Amino acid sequence: MFHQLTDINKRPKPYEFSTVRELWTDPHRAEQMLAFHLDESTELASRPAQKRQAATDWLMKHFAVGQGSRVCDFGCGPGLYATAFAQTGARVSGVDFSANSLGYARAQAQKAGLSIDYIEADYLEFKTEQRFDLITLIYYDFCALSPDQRAKLLSKFRELLAPGGRIVLDVLSLNAFAQRAEVSSYEKNSLGGFWSAQEYYGFLNTFKYEAEKLVLDKHSIIEAERRYTVYNWLQYFDQAMLEHEFAQAGLKIEQLLDDLTGQPYTGTGSDIVVVAKVA
């Protein structure tokens, strides 16, 4: 038991382990994640409807999304943003590797009479001949990627942009990083049974990496017959970090904002919204 607890509390090297696919594709957790997306009382997976509406209103107005526009929402989940884009008459694609979330998204599109091209794929590997006027990556997906993955995704975005196209994504700022603290806790059936349909004990270790401006939430799950660990990495950014990564991919940051409603950038908020184009 001592050695197990030592392992549970061990700090890994930055990005030493990745369990992103397991988090989103495990059948039980996929159902739980979809429930979180649709739960208006929590922001664990999506912003509530009022905030989403304000964001899509700004996005559609600022980027003139409408009839004939070509939009691709990366990490689209259950289609909450893709649906709003499609309602303008835009030609919309959504990419996600959660079959469960995409099943819900397709059902909602059919119910609403909307034609949305939902693709089940790892967006890091996604390929298409289409080119897009607007590419979105919403709710801190960019923060969950390793440096190599971020570089790969930004290069892909550059390739998929139509002439004059724009990228919009949101990240967590260093102000948000400063609010994080290292903690250790455990709970029976933590997060309300999110991790498993079986009874379990969930251990959470939050580690901060000051030099990298990185946080790890390490979830160690112990059931009666198995034990596993889920690593949730979150990178935090400032303007210089973002400009460097975008420039390395041949992209130019056109605008920084405080949020997805178009509020001017002050550098004091917990979020940074990036609008970028081909350099």
Candidates 43, 64, 62; CA nearest to 54 is: 62
Query: For residue 7, is pLDDT > 90?
Result: yes
Query: For residue 24, is pLDDT > 80?
Result: no
Q: What is the mean pLDDT of the chain?
A: 96
Query: For residue 83, is pLDDT > 90?
Result: yes
Q: Which residue has the tokens 């509390």?
A: 9
- Say how far apart CA 29 and CA 195 lie, in whole Å: 6
* pLDDT of amino acid 267: 96
The percentage of residues in the chain with a pLDDT greater than 90, rounded to a whole number, is 94
Label residue 20 by pLDDT band (50, 70, 90). Answer: confident
- Calculate mean pLDDT across residues 106-113: 97
The percentage of residues in the chain with a pLDDT greater than 70, rounded to a whole number, is 100
What CATH number is given for 30-169+237-278 in this structure? 3.40.50.150
For residue range 234-274, list pLDDT tens digits in order.
999 999 999 999 999 999 999 999 999 999 999 999 999 99
* Structure tokens given for 175: 């102000």
For residue range 42-74, list pLDDT tens digits in order.
898 899 999 999 999 999 999 999 999 999 999
Give the burial string for 238-272 (b: 16+ CB within 10 Å, else e).
eeeebbebbeebebebeebbbbbbbeebeeebebb
* pLDDT of amino acid 45: 85
For residue range 172-184, list pLDDT tens digits in order.
999 999 999 999 9
